[in-house]
Every structure is written in C-alpha cells, then in structure tokens.
Amino acid sequence: MPDRSYLGEFELMLLLAVAHLGDEAYGVPISRELEKQRGRDVSVGSVYAALERLESKGLVVSSLGDPTPERGGKAKRYFRITKQGLRQVRETRRVLTRMWQAIPDPKLES
Amino acid sequence: MKRREPPPLATWMLEHLSSGNGDEALAGDLLEVFRSGRSNRWYWRQVCGACAVSWFNSLRARIPLFVFALAWSMLAPAWTTIINRIETTSTLYVYIRQLEWPFSGLTESLTWVGLNVGLLWTGILIYFLIQLNQARSMGRKTIRGAFLKAAAYFLPAYFATFVLANLFAYPGFDIDRRTLTPLTELTDLRMWADFLRAPYLITLVGALWKAMPRSRRNAQPREAFLHDAEDETPAILKLDPFALTRFFALMAGAGLVNAMIAGILVCRLSDTQPPDLGSLLVTAATYVLIGALAGVAGSWIYWKSPFSPFREYSPLPFPRFALVCAAGWVWVTPMMMLAEQVSPVTAFAAMIGTFILTAGLRNETYPAFLSAQPVPSTLNLGEGDLFAESTYRAPFEPHGYIIAIGLYAAVAAVLTRSNYSASLWLGLSAAVFAWKHTVPCRYALADRQGYRRAVLRLVLVAIPAIVLTAWAMLDGIAQRNRVAAARAAAAALHSEVKTVAPPRSKASSLGSSGYESLILWPFPPKKELVAPVPLISPLLAPGTRQPLILRFDGSYEYVQPPDKHPGPTAHHSRATPLHVDIESNNRAPVVMDAHQNLAGPIPTNRCSEIDVVIDNGDNREGLISLGLLLADGLPGHQRTAYLGQQTIVSTEPGHFHEKPSPVTEAVRFAVPPVVKLRNFTEITVLVLPDAEHMFIAPRIAIREFRLMPR
C-alpha cells in the first residue's frame, strides 16, 4: 500500500538538498545548502535527526565513506534519495502547486 | 601551523551524553565545519543542540516502550501477592526449606528471583509480539540481550528501590499482606504498591532500551551503497540452500515437538475395558487429529515469528506446508501411545512418520531450493581450473554413514528396550534417506493442484495412522489389564481367600524358552564355630528392648500371573538376586517374593515393628516398594496378616543413583497392636515394582529381619 503521508517543510528541503547534491550529499554540504537557501543557521544535529527519520521511512539511504584526518578520523555519512523519496517529493510538489494555483494573486500580495 | 581543536569537554559531551553513544558522522561534520573557521560558541551550540535533539528523538521513539513498561509494571503488586501465596502454600517451598543451609536459602532466593524474572520475561515476550514489525529488524542478539538484561537488572533495581522505600518510610510500610488479593492489587495505587512497581518499570525500560529497529546500523560501505541501492530481491531468494534446509527443518521440528507434547498430555487410554470398534476408531481419529493440529500450531508459531525469513517471502504457502507436514505428524500420536507401552513398534512408527514427512517436504520445497542461490565462496572465484585434475577430490557424502550408523544404533536401542532412542535413530536415518533419495518434481504445482495432492496424501496416510493408534490403544488396554492382574496376584498372596488359579497350559506358560517359575535359594552359609548361646528369643522376655534378628535364609520365588506360587516344574537354583537377571520372555510380568519360614511361632503382639534389611543392587531407575505378609502356617491355623507396603528409599527419584555395589537399607513396617494373627511362623516379602521393573525382576536381596519388642 503506497504511503500517502506528505512531507513537512524541513523534510522537503532536506530531500531537495540531498537530490541536488547527488553523490556529495553528507552532513556538512547539506547543512550549508540549507543555510544558504534559508539564510539562517542550521543545527547539524537536527539535520541528522531529520535524515534518520527520512531513512526510516525509506525516502533516503545512507552509507559510510572513508575516514579522513581533517575530520579527526571520522567517516562521512553520505545520503542518497531513493525512488520512493523522489516520488514523495514530486507528489508534494504537485499538491503544493495545485494549492498555490488555487489562491488568487491579490491575497498573496497582501 | 597548529590545527584548531574544538573544546574537549563539548566533544566529550557529544560522544558520551548524546543518546545512542554519539554519532561518528555528526562529530566529524562538526569538526570539519569548526576547522573551517567557526567559533567555539558555535561548536558548543551545535553540541548542545545535537544532544537535545538526539535525546528528544530517542525518548519519542520509545513512547510505546514507556507505555508498555508502565502498564506491565502495574501487575507487579498482584504478582507479588501471588508469589507470597506460593511461598506460604506451595509444597515446593516446604521441600526447599527442608534442605540444608545454605542450599535452602540459596534455592529459595533463586526461586523468588526466577518468579519475578518470569514476569519480566513474559512482559518482554509480549512486547516483542506486539511490536512484531519492529522486532523483525532488531536482530536476534538484541532480543536475546533484552532477556538477559532483564535478569541482570532486576535485582539491583529491586534492592535500590527497597533502600529508597525504607529511607522514605522507615521502618517500612505498614501493610498486612494477608488481606491482599491479586485482583485488588491490580488497582492499588498506594505508595507501597508504587514502590513495588518501580523496579519492574526500571528493569523493563532498561532491558528494552536498545531493542529498537536497526535503521542506522543498516548504513553500508560506500561501494555497496552505490551499486546495491536498487536491489529489492526478496529476502528468501538471498538464502542459501543450507539456510533454507535449516529453516524448513526448524519448522517441521517445532511441529513435531508440539505434536509430541500434545500426545503426552492429551492422548490417554479410555478405560480398562476394551471399547467397541466404533468408539475406538473415533477416539483414535480424534487423537490423530489432535496430534496433527498441535503440529500445525507449533510450526505456525515459528513460521510467523519475527525472526522467520518465511514471514513475508515464503517459498511455500503455510497451509500447504502444514498439509504436507501433517502427513508426518499424524504418526506422532500412535508413536507416543506405543512408547508408553514400551513397544518396539514405536521406532517403526517414528520411521514411517519421519519418512513420509521428509519425502513430502522435499518434494514440495524443491522449487524453492532451485531458486535459492548458494553463497559464493570468495576463495575459489576464478581459480582452480589450472589444477582441477590434480586437485580433484571425491565428493564427501556423509549421509550414507549417517543412515548406517542410525540403523545400527536403532537396532541396539531396540534390543535394550530404549524405544525413544531407537525412534530417534530410526527417524534420523529415515529422514536423511528420504531427503537424499526422493526424486522431486522440478516444477512447482499450481496452487489448486498442489493443495489437492497434499490433501489426498494426508488422507491416505492418516488412515493407517488411525488404525495403528486404535491398535496401540487396544494393546495398551490389554497390557494395563495384565499389569493390574499382576498387581492383584501379588497382593492376593496375603489374602485369606484361597482361590485356585486355573492352571496354565504348558505351552503358554513356558513360552519359547525358559522356566514356568523359578526359586532361588541362597548359598548355604559357612558353618561358624561359636560358643553355645542360650536359644531363647529375647523378644519373649518381658521388658526387653533388644530386637530379635533373624538372618534371611529362605527362598526367592519368581512367578508369572495368574500363578501365585511356583508350580511343580519350577526350576530351583542357588544364587542371590543381586547377581542374576530374572527376565520375562513373554508379555506377562514377573512377580517376585521372598519367603522365610521360622523355626517356631512368634507372638505377633510382642512385636512393635519389623525392619526388613535389604541389599539393593538394582541400577535401573524406578520406584520399588516392599509389602510384608506374616502367616501362621501351623496346621489348623492358616491365617495371615498384611502389614502394608513401604517404599525403598534408595529407589525414590530424589535418592536414586548408580550403585557400584549394593547398598544396605532397612525398610520398617509397623505391627498394629491389635492383629487377628496371634502367632506367625512365616514372613513373606512382596516386591512391588513399577512398570520399569515389571518384566525384569529387581536386584534386591533380603539380608535379615529385625523384630522390635513392644
């Protein structure tokens, strides 16, 4: 049975960031991308918590990279959006677009 | 240039104070960003945020656990009340308290802990059953760990709560536990009841804390991640044939064990009289059905368990698996009934059942094995061709050895009357033979066709199983009647009613070989040169306290019912029962007595007790009792008095052990003050064995009688 739940704002942003970054999607660039788009600081812990939630839903998958000295020997954790995740993003966009289109322009202006 | 390091305390906090023992990737990310120019303040903010978020998520994910632990710990006061009742009323505790210190205290404490941990384990089991979907992704180690942690955490948690409760309400809560009932304690919200609940709550939360789905632990290496993301192969197809065999064997074995338990608990011989054919067949069919249903239930529990790979992707629908296996499980009931009668046919029933089950299973599951991929060995990938000729080794096929060993062991077990062992060995041989030599269909039958064939097969197999069960019941009833007759014959020896047993025909009494009855005489004692002593019985002297000791020099008589005494053709021999095995060579049991004739009459009312001192050299487990019969054999008197029966302590379950040499034991019989028998001139000891010793007389010899003066 397909999952009909819609994504929250932060989750949608995360999925889009992960999809945008492709093979280089790990904690630091994802946080930077969110900071750049939102224009404010992001807690890396929150980013990981939300990504783990998405992973448990099967919308992203993760893998461990090689440890590097500049990271204190800690490995990077790469994320990738799954087919289900992409479907969910498209579905959310479709719903949001339809709702946006249903609102008359004057209301948005005020 | 010196590399910038973040505040060490913050790093330590991140590693140790965040839920889940820190996250390596998160720590690395923070370090990477910090070294790119962020401030200490930013680092601290990130660490505190990460800790808070991780704890919040961790607690939120465990809300069902907290709710369950709270609900389950509500049962604690009621359970404590039940334990209190068990402690005060159970015979188990009476037995435990009779043990020597420190075993009594240790056993009592362990029993108490076991009862409490039992409640916790039941709760954990129910929690996993409720959360089946999540439990599947936890892993066996985590689940096993939860049970072990519960056992380890409970006592410290209980002790800590006990100390706190005493500090809070010194010198303890004023509760009259005798007035408490389990039902009222369920809703008891007083402080003392809450203190009782606390250790259970703490233990449950602690034990199940790590029992969470493994989402993060699924992170794979990068290379595997890049290639395997789209791999959605069903789990069952990733199993190798060995794992598939193991799982099928587990399912069939679980059903088998369950069917055996049902056979032991439910299937009983109906009554002492042989029932009519109709009711016999209906009862047999019911028992066979119960065995099959119990097998299906046992198998279903494992099939649907969270750890079963068949739970979602099954190569064979469970109903079809159950129908196939039921054709084997229907043989469990007759097997158990025959085993109760120590019948060698037990092993053959086991063999037939196992063969049918294994052959059917092999046939039905073969398509699954074809689709299962063997695990490739990394050692010989792309190697070996060059030296293939020289390194060729003949395939090792151990199944032939297993079948042969099983057959030999089964024959040996049948000869030693170990029918369960024989069943096991013969069943093993049959299973291996059927698995290796069944020629299965290479294609899966269509659903309807497969089901039809399985049902037909089950019906065809069930009919002989029902007939065998009916035969086992008839045989069991007949044997029970024979045993009852033997007991009656042994007990009737002291009866005053003199009945003449119908003489047996010589052919039936002798059997294929052996004697109709047997009399053993002790070896003649060596003559002692002793000073002459006055030949007076101290028992007769008024006021004496000295017992009269009579050394046994009588005979041991072995007969088979309905005979009560050895016939004129009885075989006489000189031996002690300690060194010979007197065994029945037919289906009738052996009855053993020891007779001692006295030189003169002894007044019965001068004896208060009679000790029968025996040498017990019997090394077969089973309870043996002695009965004592006094008789006045003087002409014109012919009266008897039966003093009842007493158990030989060294044959009781708690005291039995393998004896390298015979042990001496005194079995005491009280002589009632008022007995119809004035004097006695004969003492007869009746050996009353259990079913284990019915066909082989026990190795017990009478040493002496001690007559205690009144």
Residue B698 has pLDDT above 80, yes or no: yes
Terminus-to-terminus CA distance in chain A, angstroms? 41
Chain A residue nearest residue B14, CA to CA: A45
B-interface mutation test, from A48, A68, A70, most B Cβ less than 10 A away: A48
Query: What percentage of residues in chain B have a pLDDT greater than 90?
Result: 6
Under 8 Å CB-to-CB from A25, ≥6 apart: which residues? A17, A18, A78, A79, A80
Cross-chain residue pair A64–B222, CB shorter than 8 Å: yes
3-state SS class at B631:
strand
Query: What is the model's pLDDT at position A80?
Result: 92
Mind listing the pLDDT tens digit for each residue in A25-67? 999 999 999 999 888 888 999 999 899 889 888 899 998 888 8
Cross-chain residue pair A76–B28, CB shorter than 8 Å: yes
For residue B57, the chain A residues in CB contact (below 8 A) are 49, 52-53
Query: What is the model's pLDDT at position B94?
Result: 76
Tell me the whole-structure pTM to 2 decimals: 0.40
Amino acid symbol at B695: F
Give yes or no for a cis peptide into B562 (omega within 30° of 0).
yes
Residue B605 has pLDDT above 50, yes or no: yes
Where is pLDDT greater, at B381 or B619? B619
The answer, for B229 touching chain A at a CB cutoff of 8 Å, is yes
Q: Evaluate whether B314 touches B322 at the Cβ level (below 8 Å).
A: no
> Mean pLDDT highest for which of A24-28, B305-309, B641-645?
A24-28
How big is the A-B interface in CB pairs under 8 Å?
A: 102
Residues 22-61 of B with CB under 8 A from A: 23-33, 35, 45-46, 49-54, 57
Residue span(s) of chain B under CATH 2.60.120 come to 498-525+536-709
Round to whole Å and give the CA distance between B69 and B120: 10
Q: B276: which 2 tokens? A: 């009519």
What is the third-level CATH fold of A9-105?
Arc Repressor Mutant, subunit A (1.10.10)
In DSSP terms, B700 is beta-bridged to: B616
Round to whole Å and give the CA distance between B49 and B517: 94
Is residue B667 very low, low, confident or very high in pLDDT (cuts 50, 70, 90)? very high
Nearest-neighbour CA in chain B from A40: distance (Å): 13
Residues of A with CB under 8 A from a CB of B: 23, 26-28, 31, 43-46, 48-49, 52-53, 55-56, 61-67, 70-72, 74-78, 80, 82-83
Round to whole Å and give the CA distance between B355 and B465: 14
Residue B504 has pLDDT above 60, yes or no: no
Query: What is the model's pLDDT at position B282?
Result: 82
Query: What is the model's pLDDT at position A33?
Result: 92
For range B63-92, the mean pLDDT: 86
The answer, for B7 touching chain A at a CB cutoff of 8 Å, is no
Residue B397 has pLDDT above 50, yes or no: yes
Query: What percentage of residues in chain A have a pLDDT greater than 70?
Result: 91
Residue B272 has pLDDT above 70, yes or no: no
For residue A61, the chain B residues in CB contact (below 8 A) are 225, 229
Q: Nearest by CB to A27, which of B26, B53, B57?
A: B26
- The mean pLDDT of chain B is 77
What is the third-level CATH fold of B498-525+536-709?
Jelly Rolls (2.60.120)
Mind listing the pLDDT tens digit for each residue in B543-589? 777 788 888 888 899 988 777 788 777 888 888 888 888 887 776 78
Is residue B527 very low, low, confident or very high in pLDDT (cuts 50, 70, 90)? low
> Mean pLDDT highest for which of B1-15, B158-172, B455-469?
B455-469
**Domain ranges across chain A:** 9-105
Is residue B210 very low, low, confident or very high in pLDDT (cuts 50, 70, 90)? confident
Query: What is the model's pLDDT at position B379?
Result: 38
Is residue B658 very low, low, confident or very high in pLDDT (cuts 50, 70, 90)? confident
Q: Nearest by CB to B225, which of A53, A70, A78?
A: A78
